[in-house]
A = this chain, B = another copy of it.
């Protein structure tokens, strides 16, 4: 018998934990569809030539090989034929859009919830296999800026429907940052951004020093950058603060208008969850306008649970470019947090609402008929696996977390007992209804979510 053990970095859930994960996935899908987003799935593999386009994380890719592939068939050496597991859902989306451009209607609104794989060293909150849940709008050649707000609104609605502590979506805009840095005389825009991105980790003083040493800023410019990065407002008052610091010009005003519009639209849909935070930089070079990060109150150490922004060139073919805006939830990491600090709990451990007892194997058919009646009205039901003593059958229900036990009777009315309260009533299988909250498993806020 081979050794059985958990694999570090490859999390698995017990059935009752999976109910929480499934709930998060269901809410994501439900809200995304409510906003007209189409769900797609892409294959788990891409040619290595696709995966290596983002050079920075090539170390993390899992490469595939068929166990008995001929050593000399060359596929291992040819990056167009060698396959690897996708490490995110953005590279596959870019490929999917190019491959199906003629068959998609643009702007293409898609959500995608799938596992991704990274060969990273596993550690707290870092997995080798995990779910990502992405939401993007992809345009063909153009994408109106108001669609940035759309994806943020959907994500805000998703998060607000989950049993989570209060969260804040922090927003900035690359045009605003670039316009500001240029208008105070800093031309190395990307250098400044990369430095500002380190601010939460290294603090004001070290950031100022790096701005001077690496990004060509004077002491005064560095101080102005820090003042800029400290701007945090819930309304559009950030705009005047930026102008007061010397920000001006067309690009800056465009960024201000876009950020103000996102704030306004999200506030209208999900009040109180978004703020402008001009320190948000996001490392990746490809963002071109709005950038977003999301933090859970009390779980800031977890980092951003939902991030993204606008990128003007997701992909391009001979005829078109495909600009997009998207946000991504690190779903496994979020669910793992929900479970580990008891933010959420299923109302019971199994889908079953009713266990029908079996008096003796001779009357099993009668119990099965009761179960069919209940199920035909949508009540999740199972029949006792054995005709053991009643007490034992009730304990079986209790151990599985099934709230109701049904007693079929030959000569008198059937009875159903709520084994949590012990209350027992006469009932008919063709009409009894459990309380609404007991019909299906509900995922509720756990004690970890209070205070």
- Name A residues whose Cβ lies closer than 8 Å to a Cβ of B: 1-7, 10-15, 18-19, 21-22, 33-45, 47-50, 53, 58-69, 80, 83-85, 95-96, 98-100, 103-105, 107, 109-110, 115, 117, 119, 129, 139, 144, 146-147, 150, 265, 268-269, 316-317, 349-352, 364-365, 368-369, 372, 375, 378-383, 385-386, 396, 399-400, 402, 440
B63 close to A65 (CB less than 8 A): yes
A-side interface mostly: mixed
Of B5, B36, B350, B440, the contact of A380 (CB 8 Å cutoff): B36
> A43 and B368 in contact (CB under 8 A), knowing A35-B382, A62-B66, A67-B63?
no
Beta-carbon contact of B100 and A84 below 8 Å: no
Asked whether, in the complex, the Cβ of A352 is within 8 Å of the Cβ of B3, the reply is: no
Residues on B with C-beta less than 8 A from A268 are 365, 368-369, 372
Chain B residues within 8 Å of A351, by CB: 33-34, 36-38
5 tightest A-B CB contacts, nearest first: A36-B352, A36-B382, A66-B119, A15-B38, A33-B351
Please measure, in the bound complex, the distance between the C-alpha atom of A386 and the C-alpha atom of B143, giving whole angstroms.
Answer: 9
Do residues A12 and B65 form an inter-chain contact, with CB atoms below 8 A? no
| Cβ contact of A110, chosen from B15, B43, B440, cutoff 8 A | B15
- Contact A69:B119 (CB < 8 A) given known A99-B5, A268-B372, A378-B34: yes
- Give bound CA distance, A365 to B292, whole Å: 22
Considering the complex, give the chain B residue whose CB is closest to the CB of A32.
B351
For A38, list chain B residues within 8 Å (CB): 15, 18-19, 349-351
The CA-CA distance from A61 to B65 in the complex, in Å, is 8
A260 to chain B, nearest CB (A): 13
CA distance A38 to B402 in the complex (A): 12
> Residue of B at shortest CB range from A107?
B385
B6, B67, B103, B400: the one within 8 Å of A59 (CB): B67
* CB of A98 to closest CB in B, whole Å: 5
Which residue on chain B has the smallest CB distance to residue A114? B115
Does the CB pair A115–B64 fall under 8 Å? Answer: no
Closest-by-CB residue of B relative to A92 is: B12
Q: Quick check: A104 and B66 within 8 Å, CB to CB?
A: no
CB distance from A64 to the nearest CB of B (A): 5
With contact pairs A65-B63, A67-B61, A378-B34 given, residues A15 and B2 touching in the complex (Cβ less than 8 Å): no
Q: How far is the CB of A84 from chain B (nearest CB, A)?
A: 7
- CB nearest neighbor in B for A38: B15
Task: State how many angstroms separate the Cβ of A181 from the closest Cβ of chain B.
Answer: 29
Chain B residues lying within 8 Å of A49, measured Cβ to Cβ, are 2-3
CA distance A37 to B303 in the complex (A): 36
Measured between beta carbons, the chain B residues less than 8 angstroms from A105 are 350, 396, 399-400
Q: Is the CB–CB distance between B103 and A14 below 8 Å?
A: yes
Q: Do B316 and A99 have beta carbons less than 8 Å apart?
A: no
Contacts of A147 in B (CB 8 A): 385
Report how far A69 CA is from B84 CA in the complex, Å. 14
Are B53 and A2 touching (Cβ within 8 A)? yes
- Residues of B with C-beta under 8 A to A59: 66-68
Also in contact, A4 and B385, with CB within 8 A (given A62-B64, A85-B64): no
